């Protein structure tokens, strides 16, 4: 942390700042510039960040120098993390493709999707059993019945299951049925839930919150990692901006940036990111070209009959086309240098 004193700050004000820091057991390094005095603070960053120095008299600005995340940072763990799900590895060579309906609606529906997406090349099956809906009157998912249908689909196809967990109390049930626990965007800062999934060793798909900076997102990953679960997969799914034509604004900039800052694998969800099925394939291609480790896509055998998110679901046929297009992009991406350490 660096503390910039105001021009003309009194010596007594500088002394007061230094005194506070020393009281807290922190080291201090003072630089006397021509116009301003700068106080460098040395010590563990968790403690440094807590200090409300900015409100002290004579202080102009406080600058946090280091990133707040540690276990999630590439500095701490230079190699890419690989997360194994069944016999598929997320973050390895080929892009991971996760597909399925927004909600599990019936056994027939989920089986039809599962067989079709498997045939098209998907590696995992997604489907919501417990749904976070902005209205209490909307369809909330089939609950445990939905989980059973998912398990049956896995039984028949071998595809591992990804499904959202919304509350701690449902965690044992979820762990019984699913292979990857999804934390939805609305729960990205539900810290008790993050800690709880951190206490399992289950792979966790952590979606970015609608208004979360990349730093906050990585801090949420840090919650899970700090409890001992290293199997975190990040997922960019669109942020909220002023643009209203698209449901959200898929922020593909996050792909190379997060790969620079962190070792965790990152997927892209073009379905929620853009919110209209017409644009999903283009954004899926773009996500892979940006360097993402894979995709999670909503697919429904009959989108216009879907109980949720029909607007953004691909049909089985258009998903098949999407996979082919994405694979062509991926094959063209055989690039020599690592993305996170570009030369210049």
Give the length of the chain. Answer: 344
Residue 49, both tokens: 């960040």
- Residues contacting a second copy: total by CB under 8 A: 122
> Given the complex with a second copy, which of 173 and 257 has the nearer CB atom?
257
Give, as ranges, the residues between 169 and 188 that touch a second copy (CB under 8 A): 169, 186-187
Neighbour tally for 243: CB within 10 Å = 9
Name every residue whose Cβ is closer than 8 Å to that of residue 191 and which is 6 or more positions away in sequence. Answer: 223
Beta bridge partners of 207: 235
Q: Is 338 in the site for a second copy (CB under 8 A)?
A: no
Give, as ranges, the residues between 31 and 90 that touch a second copy (CB under 8 A): 31, 33-36, 38, 40, 42, 46, 49-56, 60-61, 63, 65-66, 68, 75
Give the span between the Cα atoms of 204 and 169, in whole angstroms: 17
Least distance from C-beta 258 to a second copy, angstroms? 9
DSSP state of 35: S
Map residues 286-315 to x or -, x wherever contact with a second copy holds by CB under 8 A. xxxxxx-----------xxxxxxxxx-xxx
Q: Which of 98, 181, 206, 255 binds a second copy (CB under 8 A)?
A: 255
Give, as ranges, the residues between 212 and 241 that touch a second copy (CB under 8 A): 213-216, 219-220, 222-223, 226, 239-241
Q: Which of 174, 285, 293, 294 binds a second copy (CB under 8 A)?
A: 285
Give the span between the Cα atoms of 324 and 330, in whole angstroms: 10
Least distance from C-beta 158 to a second copy, angstroms? 28
**Angle subtended by helix axes 107-120 and 316-331, to nearest 10:** 30
Which H helix or E strand runs over 37? strand 37-42
Per-position b or e across 23-42, b if 16+ CB within 10 A of its CB: eeebebeeeeeeeebbbebe
Least distance from C-beta 224 to a second copy, angstroms? 9
> Given the complex with a second copy, which of 152 and 216 has the nearer CB atom?
216
Least distance from C-beta 273 to a second copy, angstroms? 7
């Amino acid at each position: 942390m660096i503390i910039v004193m105001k021009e003309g700050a009194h010596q007594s004000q500088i002394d007061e700042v230094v005194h506070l820091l020393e009281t807290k057991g922190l080291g201090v390094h003072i630089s006397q510039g021509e116009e301003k005095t700068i106080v460098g603070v040395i010590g563990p960053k968790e403690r440094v960040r807590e200090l409300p120095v900015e409100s002290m008299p004579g202080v102009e600005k406080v600058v946090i120098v280091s990133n707040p995340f540690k276990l999630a940072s590439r500095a701490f763990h230079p190699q890419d993390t690989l997360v194994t799900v069944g016999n598929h590895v997320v973050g390895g060579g080929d892009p991971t493709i996760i597909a399925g309906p927004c909600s599990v609606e019936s056994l027939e529906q989920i089986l039809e999707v599962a067989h079709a997406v498997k045939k098209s090349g998907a590696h995992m099956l997604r489907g919501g059993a417990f749904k976070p809906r902005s209205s209490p009157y909307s369809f909330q998912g089939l609950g445990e019945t939905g989980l059973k249908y998912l398990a049956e689909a896995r039984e028949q196809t071998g595809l591992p299951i990804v499904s959202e967990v919304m509350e701690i109390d449902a965690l044992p049930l979820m762990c019984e049925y699913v292979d990857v626990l999804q934390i939805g965007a609305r729960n990205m800062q539900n810290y008790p839930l993050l800690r709880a999934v951190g206490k399992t060793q289950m792979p966790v798909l952590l979606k970015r919150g609608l208004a979360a900076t990349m730093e906050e997102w990585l801090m949420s990953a840090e919650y899970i990692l700090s409890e001992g679960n290293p199997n975190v997969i990040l997922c960019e799914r669109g942020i909220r901006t002023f643009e209203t034509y698209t449901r959200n604004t898929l922020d593909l900039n996050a792909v190379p940036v997060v790969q620079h800052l962190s070792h965790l694998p990152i997927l892209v969800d073009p379905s929620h990111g853009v919110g209209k099925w017409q644009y999903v394939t283009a954004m899926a291609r773009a996500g892979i070209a940006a360097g993402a480790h894979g995709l999670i896509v909503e697919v429904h055998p009959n989108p216009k009959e879907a109980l949720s998110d029909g607007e953004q679901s691909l049909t089985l046929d258009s998903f098949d086309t999407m996979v082919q297009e994405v694979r062509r992009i991926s094959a063209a991406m055989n690039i020599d240098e690592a993305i996170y350490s570009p030369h210049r």
